[in-house]
Amino acid sequence: MRSLVRWADFKRRLIGRPLASDQAEHQLLPKTLALPVFASDPLSSVAYATEEAMLVLALAGAGAFVFLTPISIAIATLLAVVVVSYRQTIKAYPSGGGAFIVANENLGLGAGVIAAAALLTDYTLTVAVSVTAGVAAITSAYPGLLDNRVAMAIGFVILVTVVNLRGAKESSILFAIPTYAFVATVFTMIVVGFVECLDGECPQAISAQVDLEPITAIGALVILRAFASGSTALTGVEAVADGVQAFRPPKARNAAATLGIMGIISITMFLGISTLARLFGVRISEETVDTYGTVISQIGRAAFNEGIGFWLLQVFTAGILLLAANTAYQDFPRLSAILARHKLMPRQFRNLGDRLVFSNGVLVLATIASLLIWVFDAQVSRLIQLYVVGVFLSFTLSQSGMVRRWIRMKGPGWRRGAVIQAIGASVTGVVLIVIASVKFVHGAWIVIIAIALLSVGMLSIRRHYLGVADRLRLAAEPPPPTSNRAIVLASHTGRATQRAIEYAEMVRPQDITVVHVREPGDEDLLDTWDRLYPQHPLKLLESDQGRPFRRLRDYIEEQVDLNPDAFVTVIIPELVRRRRLGSLVTHPHGLVVKLLLLFVPRVVVTDLTYHRPRVRRRDEIADPDHITSQQVVVLAADMTIPVRRAMAYVEMLGAEEVVAAHLNTDEEQRDRMLRSWDPELGPLTILESPYRGVTRPLLRYVRRLRRDAPDGTLIHVVIPEFVVPGFWSQILHNQTAFAIKATFIFEPGVAVTSVPWHLATMETEDELNATLG
């Protein structure tokens, strides 16, 4: 327990104190902070978009650079079309969601899933490419760091992750300065560069005299591939449309204005850098980039004559490239949460962390991006081949969906809106085909396969969740068992075992059986049991070839089969010496037994702990010496079959007081629960959780009941659980019950009972048997 306290203190110092749910409004962003957060990716793309186009043209020799200007103009025109199109999307869908919401609503679930998969892939690559490009800017200034670029890149991913875990507003304040500084420095460089060219002689880049031997002849394929690589300038444009809800009111208007400003700045900088690259005679190839530096660094070196301006440019370029990943950190978790609400992603992605951030999405994004950086050796030119396909796929689906929406709704100005969106969809669709074709063998095939697999996975997750929901709300639910039989597991004599027997007698089951599996060193137990507990003879089970867990499970399954109309309650007494997991000694394998029994239908498991007497604080509550009564708290997350079965089970216990409690961590779920609650089950108590936690509010409530209860009262927490078949299916659920059980192990005077409902008849996996048996 002490280690958990230390972890909580470290976490608070690292990411800050928790924020209450009602503080969410204060985390919304004004336009001045939203621009660096959502536009850092597209603004930073100009730092390497020109370079990526030139690297392809270099394959045809230095003479091919003459095509850089028309290619850049085409890319800038495309960027303008996409910006205008997404401004209309923001006005039509002010709740955000971007390409997924648009495609899902207008083109169907399949198109929406593909758009979402493309966006998730794009956001992951954004982090990997942006951070890697930022490290490349640093190594351009300090070539001696080249060998450490992978470690540096992953280190920066960790840094950006920690900053984002601290909250959207805090990260935006931190990232605003380098973003605006980068924009100001690039505009200064462009102005200075053009001024120096006014006399007819432009300063020349350090690589201007480098001879680039052509590898292939210039042709349509090379030009199209250069256009495809340079189209990275469009990455991140959709981020504002995805994150409308992060803006201050009026959300849609502020988001559209931010997108417009971002478009103007990006187009101006991109065209300026491409033009100066031609005027300054920049030459670059895969072989020379590490020697002479990136395109923007060569332009800055020439424009500022290697003065302070050049070094500021390098610093701010590295900064904006590293922080451009922040755009993905804002939208990947937010999109994942939207998908989780549509049952297309694991529901854990809906959980808000301590700082009102979808922290699970942040951590998953950081992990996958770091893996990509390691696999591709932190090389921008290798990672960039995977880029852009997902971007233009989501562009095309989003704008096609908007065309369908305009035609269907026929609101004011629908013809004009449909034309704009149709032009955007057509252009981005053509670009998508070009990019997929010319970059397929260079790595785009990996992204296409990833999008397909991710789409199939999301649809599978949705089928699972819908199937679970249908089973949990069956109109003709099976009748619950009508009786209760108790089995007490005994591995030692002592106070913990005595209390377990007292509890079993108090709840008046149909019968009580005390079971012990033979194991070495249990002679004292066998010699003293009949003398200490003559009214409860010990049922001895022989270990199955050294596998006591399997023998115990087999016996309990036999009892379940012999009593088809009864709950079988297995009571596990555990002695707690100290407040840590290794101190549970009375039933040394209690955790393993509980895990095995979770998969046996109609088996209820009661965990009854006894805390060894010790010196206590004045306000600390001790275990009652004898259990004379109980107060039952049934946790009810939703009005489902497991909750009804748990209430039916509790009726058999003869408790003096029963409370059904709902923990309010989500307003929508709370309202749904209040509407669906069956008043015949008794009143429903709402436990508020302002910080969205589960265990702490429940722990405070139970402690309050414990303090107010008469001596000898056991507070009994009953957890309705549904058990899904298969290991991978378990991952799709929050495992909240496990966290609650782990919390109350160390709480004196509290018992925890799990009442499971199995969605399908299932056996514990063979691997689990092999591991635990």
Q: In whole angstroms, what is the distance from residue 647 CA to residue 720 CA?
A: 9
**Residue 488 pLDDT:** 94
Buried b (16+ CB within 10 A) or exposed e, 143-160: eeeeeebbebbbebbeeb
- CA triplet 494, 497, 503: central angle to 5 degrees? 135
Length of the chain: 773
User: Residue 225: is its pLDDT beyond 90?
Assistant: no
Q: What is the bridge-based pairing of β-strands 538-541 and 629-635?
A: unpaired
Taking only the tens place, the pLDDT of each residue in 47-101 is 778 998 999 999 999 889 999 999 999 999 989 988 988 888 888 888 776 789 9
Segment 246-273 mean pLDDT: 92
Report the pLDDT value the prediction gives residue 2, as an integer from 0 to 100.
53
The band of 773, judged by pLDDT with boundaries at 50, 70 and 90, is very low
Q: Is 521 exposed, middle or buried (0-12, 13-18, 19+ CB in 10 A)?
A: exposed
Q: For residue 513, is pLDDT > 90?
A: yes
Residue 9 CB partners (closer than 8 Å, separation 6+): none
- Residue that wins the pLDDT comparison between 761 and 199: 199
**Section 175-204 average pLDDT:** 91
Residue 722 has pLDDT above 70, yes or no: yes
C-alpha closest to that of 662 among 642, 679, 683 = 683
CB atoms within 10 A of CB 767: 9
The rounded distance, in Å, linking the Cα atoms of 230 and 429 is 16
- Give me 470's structure tokens: 């249908």
Answer yes or no: are the C-beta atoms of 175 and 40 closer than 8 Å: yes
Q: Quick one: average pLDDT of 207-229?
A: 86
Q: Which residues contact 458 (CB under 8 A, 6 or more apart)?
A: 113, 116, 117, 339, 344, 345
Q: How many CA atoms lie within 13 A of 387 on its CB side?
A: 30
Confidence of residue 239 (pLDDT cuts 50, 70, 90): confident
Q: pLDDT band for position 769 (50/70/90)?
A: very low
| pLDDT at residue 155 greater than cutoff 50 | yes
Which amino acid belongs to residue 143?
P
pLDDT band at residue 765 using 50, 70 and 90 as cut-offs: very low
Q: Which two tokens stand for residue 612?
A: 């060894």
User: What mean pLDDT value characterizes the chain?
Assistant: 85
| pLDDT band at residue 401 using 50, 70 and 90 as cut-offs | very high
User: Stretch 196-221: mean pLDDT, rounded?
Assistant: 88
Q: Which residues touch 362 (CB under 8 Å, ≥6 apart)?
A: 161, 164, 165, 329, 332, 333, 353
Tell me how far apart the alpha carbons of residues 244 and 248 are, in angstroms, rounded to a whole number. 9
> Residue 768 pLDDT > 70, yes or no?
no
| Crossing angle of helices 109-141 and 325-341, rounded to 10° | 160
User: Model confidence over 3-34: pLDDT tens digits?
Assistant: 555 656 776 777 778 777 777 666 788 888 88
- Check residue 772 and give its pLDDT: 37
**Predicted pLDDT at 26:** 65
Give yes or no for a contact between 165 and 15, defined as CB atoms under 8 angstroms apart: yes
pTM assigned to the model: 0.82
CA distance 214 to 234: 29
**How are strands ordered across the β-sheet holding 750-758?**
538-541, 512-517, 483-489, 566-576, 603-611, 750-758, 713-723, 629-635, 657-664, 684-688
* pLDDT tens per residue across span 547-592: 777 888 889 999 999 998 899 999 999 887 655 544 444 445 667 7
**pLDDT value at position 234?**
87
Collect all residues with Cβ–Cβ distance below 8 Å to 534 and sequence separation of at least 6: none
- Answer yes or no: is pLDDT of 143 > 50: yes
Residue 665: is it exposed, middle or buried by C-beta count within 10 angstroms (0-12/13-18/19+)? buried
Strands 603-611 and 750-758: what pairing?
Answer: antiparallel
* 3 state SS of 614: coil
pLDDT in tens, 646-668: 999 999 998 878 999 999 988 88
pLDDT at res. 625? 64
Alpha carbon 409 to chain centroid, angstroms: 35
Q: What is the pLDDT of residue 729?
A: 75
CB 722 within 8 A of CB 759: yes
User: In degrees to the nearest 10, what's the CA dihedral of 668, 671, 675, 676?
Assistant: 60
Whole-number Cα distances in Å, 122 to 368, 389, 390, 453, 461: 12, 8, 5, 15, 21
| Residue 286 confidence class, pLDDT cut points 50, 70, 90 | confident
In the numeric block, the tokens 């951070």 are attached to: 131
**Among the listed ranges 173-177, 339-343, 574-578, 687-691, which one has the minimum average pLDDT value?**
574-578
Q: How far is 732 from 736, CA to CA, in rounded Å?
A: 12
Query: Measured between alpha carbons, how far is 663 from 670 in angstroms, rounded to an integer?
Result: 8
Q: What pLDDT sits at residue 691?
A: 84
Q: Quick check: bond before 250 cis, omega within 30?
A: yes
How far apart CA 391 and CA 328 sit, in angstroms, is: 12
Task: Write the single-letter amino acid at 212.
Answer: L
Identify which of 237, 233, 261 has the alpha carbon closest to the alpha carbon of residue 89.
237
CA atoms within 13 A on the CB side of 564: 1
Residue 252 to residue 257: CA distance in whole angstroms? 9
User: What pLDDT, in 10s, does the model give residues 465-487?
Assistant: 888 888 776 555 667 788 899 99
Q: Which residues contact 6 (CB under 8 A, 6 or more apart)?
A: none
* DSSP for 130-176, written as a single string: HHHHHHHHHHHH-GGGGGGHHHHHHHHHHHHHHHHHT-HHHHHHHHH
> Are residues 432 and 396 in contact, defined by beta-carbon separation less than 8 angstroms?
yes
pLDDT band at residue 739 using 50, 70 and 90 as cut-offs: confident
C-alpha closest to that of 388 among 684, 20, 644, 53? 53
Q: What is the pLDDT of residue 307?
A: 87
pLDDT (0 to 100) of residue 514: 93
Sign of the dihedral defined by the CA atoms of residues 393, 394, 399, 405, in that order: positive
| Angle, vertex CA 37, rays to CA 34 and CA 39, nearest 5 | 90
Distance, CA of 710 to CA of 552 (rounded, Å):
37
Return the exposure string of 101-124: e unless at least 16 CB atoms fall within 10 Å of the residue's CB, then b: bbbbbbbeeebbbbbbbbbbbbbb
Question: Looking at per-residue confidence, does 215 or 753 come out higher?
Answer: 753
List CB contacts of 481: < 8 A, sequence separation 6 or more.
565, 566, 567, 602, 648, 649
Cα–Cα nearest to 420, from 102, 166, 88: 88
pLDDT tens for residues 331-368? 899 899 999 999 999 988 988 888 778 899 999 999 99
Residue that is written with structure tokens 């540096």 in the block: 152
Task: Compute the average pLDDT of residues 492-501.
Answer: 86
Q: Are 185 and 309 in contact (CB under 8 A)?
A: yes
Under 8 Å between Cβ of 230 and 52? yes
Say what the alpha-carbon torsion angle 147, 148, 153, 159 is, to the nearest 10 degrees: -170
Radius of gyration in angstroms for the set of CA atoms belonging to the chain, rounded to a whole number: 32
